[in-house]
C-alpha cells in the first residue's frame, strides 16, 4: 500500500482548516485516512504555536514505514527540525510576468528619451 503523509481539508467555505493525516495515496484528499497526525490552521499568525501542531513521533514512525511526505507537510517538518531541509529549484520564481516586463521596457525607453532630450 502506497502511504502518504498529507493535508486533508476541513473547515467551512473561506475558513480553511487542515488535518495532517497518514493515508493511502489512492484515497481522496478529504476521504478515508489511517491516522490523524496533527493539524494546520493557516488563518493563524505565522509565529503562532497553534498554527501547526503534530505528533512528531508518529510522523517519524510513518516515514520509517515508507510513507511519502507531500511538499507542504515536508516544509512543516523542516521547520520542526524533523527532516533535513532540501534544496528547491524554481528559477522562474523571481522573474516578473510578461506584462510587467513590457512595462519595465517602456519605462526604460521613456527614461532614455528624456535623458537624450536634455
Give the confidence band of 95 by pLDDT, cuts at 50, 70, 90.
confident
Q: Residue 78: enclosing H or E segment and its boundaries?
A: helix 71-80
Who wins on pLDDT, 1 or 82? 82
Report the pLDDT value the prediction gives residue 107, as an integer from 0 to 100.
92
Q: Shortest CA distance to 19 belongs to which of 94, 5, 109, 84?
A: 5
Q: Which domain holds residue 28?
A: 3-80
In a domain, 110, yes or no: no
Q: Please give the model's pTM, rounded to 2 decimal places.
A: 0.71
Copy the grid coordinates of residue 62.
510513518
Chain segment 34-71, per-residue pLDDT in tens: 999 999 999 999 888 899 999 999 999 999 999 999 99
Report the pLDDT value the prediction gives residue 89, as an integer from 0 to 100.
77
In a domain, 88, yes or no: no
Give the confidence band of 27 by pLDDT, cuts at 50, 70, 90.
confident
Tally of domains within the chain: 1
Give the pairing type, strands 35-40 and 52-54.
Answer: antiparallel
Copy the grid coordinates of residue 46.
505565522
CATH number, position 55:
3.30.1320.10
In a domain, 59, yes or no: yes
In a domain, 11, yes or no: yes
Distance from C-alpha of 73 to C-alpha of 53, rounded to nearest angstrom: 11
Amino acid at each position: 500500500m502506497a502511504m502518504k503523509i498529507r493535508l486533508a481539508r476541513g473547515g467551512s467555505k473561506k475558513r480553511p482548516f487542515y488535518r495532517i493525516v497518514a493515508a493511502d495515496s489512492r484515497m481522496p484528499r478529504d476521504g478515508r485516512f489511517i491516522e490523524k497526525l496533527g493539524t494546520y490552521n493557516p488563518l493563524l499568525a505565522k509565529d503562532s504555536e497553534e498554527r501547526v501542531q503534530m505528533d512528531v513521533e508518529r510522523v517519524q514512525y510513518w516515514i520509517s514505514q515508507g510513507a511519502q511526505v507531500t511538499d507542504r507537510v515536508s516544509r512543516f517538518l523542516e521547520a520542526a527540525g524533523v527532516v533535513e531541509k532540501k534544496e528547491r529549484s524554481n528559477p522562474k520564481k523571481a522573474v516578473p510576468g510578461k506584462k510587467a516586463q513590457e512595462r519595465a521596457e517602456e519605462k526604460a525607453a521613456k527614461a532614455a528619451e528624456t535623458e537624450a532630450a536634455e
